[in-house]
Structure 1
Amino acid sequence: MTTTLALAARLRALPDDELVAALRHRSVRRSGISDFFDLAEALLDGESVQRALVALDRTRLATLIVLGRAGPLEVREVAVALDREPATAGATEQQAAAALDALSGLLLAHPADGDPEDADPADGRTPRYGTYDAVSARLIAWPDAGLPSPDELLRTAPPPALAPVPDTERRFTDRLAADRAFEAVVAVSELLAELGREGARELQRGGLALPAVKRLSEALAVDADAVPTVLSVASRAGLVAVEAGQWLPAEPAAAWLHASTPDRWRALAGAWLGALPDDLRALVADRSRAEWGDSLREHVGWLYPAAADEARARVDAHLRDAEWLGITAHGAPSGPGTVLVEEGPEASADALAPAFPAEVRQVYLQHDLTMISPGPLAPDLEARLRTMADLESRALASTFRFSPASVDRAITAGETAATIREFLSGISLTGLPQPLDYLITDVTERHGRVRVRTVDEGEARTAVRSSDTTLLRTIEVDQSLSSLRLTPARADVLHSRFPRDVVFWALSDARYPVVAEDENGEPVTLRRQRYAHPQTAPTRDQDRELVERLRAVDAAVTDDTAEQWLARQLDQAVRARQPVVVEVAMPDGSVVDLVLEPTGVGGGRLRGRDRSADIERTLPLSSVKAVRPL
């Protein structure tokens, strides 16, 4: 029997870090816990035990059942017992040891011989484990809650794995998966571009605001239902993050956008693989050449008998992203998907690279101010092209369009008419069309008609100046700029109480030909920082605080509190009718161990039956130096 007394003594002896780690995985009440006995009682409370058991897989549940029926057992004995049952047939000592280690860390299994690390197989000391009575009792009561009985847990064999996907089907799977992989890379690229232009609002309850979903759906050319998947994949890869309630690109996005298509996919697929829980990763590795879909869901439902629906939902989320990334197609792993789980992201990207369309560095410039790319543009070219043209349609042959606003945006970012012409002429297969050349000249001449600089005039912090008073009046009454609180100062000047950079980017977004100036009136190039830098708010570590508080109570030990600790131990033993080893100080100064079954504590005395001598003993509590579970 392993009861509260044994757990309380174990909690008291555990290192702080191990105890904190265990509490983080257990749901316990914290109110009313003043010592390790209270904590032990909270951990063995029926609801706390139930929440811990529900999350366990069948192997760990079977291990607890075996320990409850025949424990304490050595690792080898546990493996033998598991191997006899259909649910865990073929269990090895390594698997049994892993299960016992996990259960011990969750405070559901109890090292019967102290610290297992102290055991030494060379001298015959191998670790033995038992489980707590409350844990066994809860498992026995599972049928009353509509959950499998211990016998059902042990006797239900796992569903059979499916046969490997035939080579004839794999060819079609690989072709479809390659298309999806390319589309996934394109969608994430467009997501980063759109979020860089304008962030997407995250609701307090989670999920994107509906207007943001619609906007991103149009920009990415995907269904609205696919937007959360794209965002999930990009977030998992560290490419986007939430800052101040807005989804924005994260700093790694810049390097990702300049990488090749296979390298971009490798980052996305590697993040998917890295996010797989250990249990699911082992399952997909075992089925790396067989179908995952329904077979995987069925196996996960069997593996987590007390939380089958939640486990299937968790699997569905990972499988959804795998399907979208081209790791699978119609539920079967693609060739690169198989390589991904067997060899890793690098080898998988190498296997997929030949299926991607070749990148191009030459384009067709049209007289209608459009540019057609006959294939995926090289990342460095696309990144620069996006500063001066807007994407009109994305496919293997993408179309970009030049406009006064897009060219003005490039000049605002530091380009000049000469650098734009040089860049476009260098990549064009059709030269520089005359309409585009005129557009560049016209925008360059008009650029800077509106200038903003920092001022310090009363409440005004920024001045907006233009010799074109008609344009200035248009800016003043523009409703999209009403938040700037622009007020006339002179005929050619407006004032705002907002900083220069805020005013500049508001005017730029509204597509006015604006230039920022320094204090000397010289033009300066401003860089808009669109990267998210989320700051995690410090949170209280309640588990560590609890452990530190209990240690402080334990450290302030006096003769009275030491006697109270002994009394609590003995009281628990009386209530559980649990035999204990009592260390008793004898009159001659020696200390002897007596194995007693305590029957009562009171009046400063301990009464119990000495099992060795088969007599009743009454001992003064002042002579009892220590108590430990038998």
Structure 2
Amino acid sequence: MPAPSLADWLRQESDDALAALLRTRRDLSTPPPSDTIVLATRAGTPGSVARACEDLDTFTLAVLDALLLAGADTEPVASAEVAKLVGKKIGEPLALLRKRALVWGEDDALRVPPSARDALGPFPAGLGSSSPSLAGTDIEAALAEVGEDERAVLTTLAAGPPIGRTRDAAADIPLERAQNPVQRLLARGLLLRRDDQTVELPREIGIALRGGSVFDPASLREPELPTHPHQSSTVDTTAAGEAMEFLRQTESMLRAWSETPPPVLKSGGLGVRELKKLAKDLDVDETRVTLLAEIAVGAGLVADSEATAPEWVPTTLTDSWLASPTAQRWMTIAQAWLELPRLPGLAGGRDAKDKPIAPLSEDLRRPLAPTSRRRILLALAALPEGAGVKSTDELVAALAWRAPRRGGRLRDETVRWTMAEGAALGLIGLGGLTTATRALLAEDRPGAVEAMIDALPRPVDHVLVQADLTVVAPGPLEAGLAAEMTAVADIESSGHATVYRITETSVRRALDTGRTAGELQQLFSTKSATPVPQSLSYLIDDVARRHGRLRGGAAESFLRCDDASLLAEVMGSPVATEYGLRMIAPTVLISAYPLAEVLDALRAAGFAPAAEGPDGRVMDIRPSGRRLPAKARSARRAPGEPAGLTDDQVGKIVAHVRAGDAASARRRGETVRAPQGGGSGDTSATLALLSQATIERREVWIGFVDSRGTASQRVVRPLRVGGGVLEGTDNERYPLHRITSAALVED
């Protein structure tokens, strides 16, 4: 009995098996196949076969290669023959291949789609064609006669692919006249000449050089993934420290770009000069700056202004993000990274035209990046809680074995980039996933925030003031205290403990915001766990004594001072001429320039003016930075995961396929076809046939076009016909004007 075709095999499968096939190979369901012939045809195309093989492991692909070696794409082969080629039992991978319709038939007559050879390549298992001329040849003896240079050529081709390009294949040369290894091997029959520049290693020679095995037994076993056991709390706290540092650097970048937005390159992206400047300001490398910028844009915190001279400008989301709790800010950037359809690791490399790839450019866009990222994190999630991989390279090897055809040429680099980026963002700690990340992957965002809150160090309510005018924060400060310290001091170094430096400029900056000398003295006396050094008190009092003696207001702007000699000194400075200062009273000067510009010029000239409001109190008029309106973001879904078919959708597709099969098998008699053009007369014959089927309670085959224009075939038992609608016992309603043909079927 001849082996069944794929369509015949699928027709005999259960509905559950067809449903499993459609879930595994989702490309087969769009549009819904009309019957198993269409389903089998679609499943056998090279593109569909290649997609179905993407997430198969090395062992399963080896079985498929062995089937092709045995010729299962042209005639049935026995599973015993395939198992002999593989060198081990193949029951489990064979069942998986059957489930995906990549193999069908009984164990003694297995078949694969002919297109599998196109999808997997012309050389299964890296072996060439069989050479009939080697039949009966003692291959081991023949190989023993070759020299080292000839064996080197054979060994290289035996590793695959089995073809090589060479000019030495141009003509057949006898062994005694051969001048090089390739010519001698051709003369011995150990290489096959395909054309003037191509040679191929025969399959028999390749297997012999592999020790008599088609596959290296070690290659068919999944590599071990050594891990370090850790306490989950240790992983969480380690990652939380990295997350806090990343958040601090993101804040610094947003504040810097608020004041001076970097320009957008003409070709798109961030320029090298701006990249290096920000790296120097943040004291990080350019790789970290690229990641910061990519995630800020991905999270909607920064956007292209799209102006005549476009710039990268923070959006209105920046202010709410900066005001949010630490755990919530982490959630925003972590979610943005998981959903980022880009590969920041590509920045700094070269494109196809050997031009450098800039951060934030279109060259970094990779729509499948979220899928790859999630796959890597899920591999870590499969480890015991707290466990971390010992080496990223070992993880690369394990994932490459599990899906060697997935990820393209950047497959291994993507794993390395993901591990490095995940560690920088605080999703990965000590080589393992944090509790917060596990919750995030499970779509439990509140749980992820709570886990991060638990992992973050508790905010401290005090600082340590040193005699050298530095202030040490022994941990993350409470929000209010952190704001006060940022106002009165500059960050000198950061980490688990932040060091601030107090200078005359930083004190004056605090006074410019409306704080008084008394408030600053009280801040340090109440919040410092160490005695406040006298030098700090003197510095605050000295700056405060000079600060605000000269005050300005908007008139366009004005300056006032009770000290007439100080005003005279101002009028004698170059600032008075440059900004058109004019005295309108013994204690008042005015200018046509904005107050902020006048005050900046006076400070540059050595004066210490302060701005005042309508009530005479000191006010802060520093610009808060530019902002762009935030763009609306699409609804979130599982990062990188395409929407799957629901059980109801799968059930309808299977029923649709079965109905098409039934229609093809059971249709009998004359078929009534509705002519094109419409009109009341067009459906009269159809209506008569459907009425007959209703009276005789017989099933009818119909051709039907739905509202989306998709044609299909159905077998329906009419319940009633009327009002321009056919109602079936399947509770479906079919408008008569959409029925294109009809025929009675056998009972």
TM-score range for the pair, normalised by the shorter chain length: 0.5 to 0.7
Q: Residues 509-560 of structure 1: CA distance to partner in whole angstroms, max 9, x if unpaired?
A: 999634334578775443633363335599xxxxxxxxxxxxxxxxxxxxxx
**2:241 counterpart letter in structure 1:** F
Deviation at 1:394, TM superposition (A): 1.6
**1:201 counterpart letter in structure 2:** P
Unaligned runs of 5+ in 2: 51-64, 66-114, 126-214, 341-368, 384-388, 634-670, 690-700, 702-736
Query: What pairs with 1:461-540 in structure 2 (closer than 5 Å)?
Result: 461-462=556-557, 467-468=566-567, 470=569, 476=575, 486-490=578-582, 493=589, 495-497=591-593, 499-500=594-595, 513-517=608-612, 524-526=619-621, 528-530=623-625, 532-534=627-629, 536=631
Greater Rg by CA? 2
The structure with the largest helix share of the pair is 1
Deviation at 1:318, TM superposition (A): 3.7
Q: Please point out which of 498, 504, 516 is paired with 1:416.
A: 516
**2:288 counterpart letter in structure 1:** A
Separation in 2, partners of 1:249, 1:501? 24
Q: Please point out which of 184, 191, 205 is paired with 2:250.
A: 191
Q: Residues 173-220 of structure 1: CA distance to partner in whole angstroms, max 9, x if unpaired?
A: 985774454133124224314532534415334443444434433443
The residue aligned with 1:584 is 675
SS in 1 for 2:230: helix
SS in 2 for 1:371: strand
Q: Residues 76-109 of structure 1: CA distance to partner in whole angstroms, max 9, x if unpaired?
A: 769747xxxxxxxxxxx35623743x665xxxx3
Q: Residues 275-333 of structure 1: CA distance to partner in whole angstroms, max 9, x if unpaired?
A: 58357535633541445955468747985948613566665554332121243357544
The residue aligned with 1:201 is 262
The residue aligned with 1:387 is 487
Q: Residues 371-401 of structure 1: CA distance to partner in whole angstroms, max 9, x if unpaired?
A: 1223332333112210111111223332211
Separation in 1, partners of 2:573, 2:741? 86
**1:96 counterpart letter in structure 2:** L
Deviation at 1:404, TM superposition (A): 1.9
Q: Please point out which of 182, 193, 202 is paired with 2:241.
A: 182
Shift in alpha-carbon separation, 1:522–1:368, aligned structure 2, 3 A = closer
CA RMSD in angstroms, aligned pairs only: 5.4
Separation in 2, partners of 1:171, 1:471? 67
Shift in alpha-carbon separation, 1:487–1:353, aligned structure 2, 3 A = closer
The residue aligned with 2:32 is 111
**2:116 counterpart letter in structure 1:** P
**2:325 counterpart letter in structure 1:** A
The residue aligned with 1:327 is 427
Shift in alpha-carbon separation, 1:195–1:496, aligned structure 2, 3 A = farther
The residue aligned with 1:245 is 311
Separation in 2, partners of 1:537, 1:253? 16
Q: Please point out which of 504, 516, 538 is paired with 1:404.
A: 504
Shift in alpha-carbon separation, 1:216–1:76, aligned structure 2, 3 A = farther
Separation in 2, partners of 1:426, 1:78? 75
Q: Residues 606-625 of structure 1: CA distance to partner in whole angstroms, max 9, x if unpaired?
A: xxxxxxxxxxxxxxxxxx99
Shift in alpha-carbon separation, 1:433–1:336, aligned structure 2, 3 A = same
**2:285 counterpart letter in structure 1:** D
Shift in alpha-carbon separation, 1:442–1:390, aligned structure 2, 3 A = same
SS in 1 for 2:532: coil
Shift in alpha-carbon separation, 1:625–1:360, aligned structure 2, 3 A = closer
- 1:284 and 2:377 aligned: yes
The residue aligned with 1:374 is 474
Aligned residues of 1:110 and 1:132 also touching (Cα < 8 A): no
- 1:259 and 2:325 aligned: yes
Separation in 2, partners of 1:132, 1:525? 73
Aligned residues of 2:487 and 2:510 also touching (Cα < 8 A): yes
Q: Residues 576-610 of structure 1: CA distance to partner in whole angstroms, max 9, x if unpaired?
A: xxxx99523889964599x9xxxxxxxxxxxxxxx
**1:533 counterpart letter in structure 2:** L
Separation in 2, partners of 1:224, 1:179? 23
The residue aligned with 2:292 is 230
Separation in 1, partners of 2:302, 2:232? 30
Separation in 2, partners of 1:413, 1:488? 26
Shift in alpha-carbon separation, 1:463–1:327, aligned structure 2, 3 A = same
Deviation at 1:349, TM superposition (A): 6.0
**1:488 counterpart letter in structure 2:** G
Separation in 2, partners of 1:462, 1:454? 4
Aligned residues of 1:405 and 1:511 also touching (Cα < 8 A): no
Query: What pairs with 1:522-601 in structure 2 (closer than 5 Å)?
Result: 524-526=619-621, 528-530=623-625, 532-534=627-629, 536=631, 582-584=673-675, 590=685
Separation in 1, partners of 2:404, 2:602? 57
Q: Please point out which of 187, 210, 229 is paired with 1:170.
A: 229
SS in 2 for 1:488: coil
Q: Please point out which of 23, 33, 36 is paired with 1:97.
A: 23
Q: Residues 102-121 of structure 1: CA distance to partner in whole angstroms, max 9, x if unpaired?
A: 665xxxx33244xxxxxxxx
TM-score by length of 2: 0.47
Separation in 2, partners of 1:588, 1:211? 73
Separation in 2, partners of 1:337, 1:426? 38
Shift in alpha-carbon separation, 1:110–1:289, aligned structure 2, 3 A = closer
Q: Residues 23-51 of structure 1: CA distance to partner in whole angstroms, max 9, x if unpaired?
A: xxxxxxxxxxxxxxxxxxxxxxxxxxxxx
Separation in 2, partners of 1:389, 1:448? 19
Shift in alpha-carbon separation, 1:131–1:382, aligned structure 2, 3 A = same
Separation in 2, partners of 1:97, 1:415? 65
Q: Residues 140-165 of structure 1: CA distance to partner in whole angstroms, max 9, x if unpaired?
A: 999xxxxx953475899998766565
* Higher mean displacement: 461-470 or 419-428: 461-470
SS in 2 for 1:322: helix
The structure with the largest strand share of the pair is 1
- 1:442 and 2:542 aligned: yes
Shift in alpha-carbon separation, 1:327–1:522, aligned structure 2, 3 A = closer
**1:423 counterpart letter in structure 2:** L
Aligned residues of 1:388 and 1:407 also touching (Cα < 8 A): yes
Q: In percent, how many aligned pairs have the same letter? A: 23
Unaligned runs of 5+ in 1: 1-67, 82-92, 114-126, 143-147, 456-460, 478-484, 539-579, 596-623
Shift in alpha-carbon separation, 1:208–1:462, aligned structure 2, 3 A = farther
**2:377 counterpart letter in structure 1:** V
Query: What pairs with 1:17-56 in structure 2 (closer than 5 Å)?
Result: none
Aligned residues of 1:195 and 1:249 also touching (Cα < 8 A): no
The residue aligned with 2:116 is 150
Residues paired across the two proteins, number: 445
Deviation at 1:420, TM superposition (A): 1.7
Deviation at 1:486, TM superposition (A): 4.3
**2:23 counterpart letter in structure 1:** A
SS in 2 for 1:391: strand
Deviation at 1:133, TM superposition (A): 8.2
Aligned residues of 1:300 and 1:308 also touching (Cα < 8 A): no
The residue aligned with 2:465 is 365
Shift in alpha-carbon separation, 1:299–1:182, aligned structure 2, 3 A = same
SS in 2 for 1:171: coil
Separation in 1, partners of 2:379, 2:482? 41
Separation in 1, partners of 2:453, 2:33? 55
The residue aligned with 2:204 is none
Aligned residues of 1:241 and 1:250 also touching (Cα < 8 A): no
Separation in 1, partners of 2:264, 2:337? 25
Q: Please point out which of 271, 283, 305 is paired with 1:221.
A: 283
Separation in 1, partners of 2:624, 2:283? 26
TM-score by length of 1: 0.55
Separation in 1, partners of 2:436, 2:262? 35
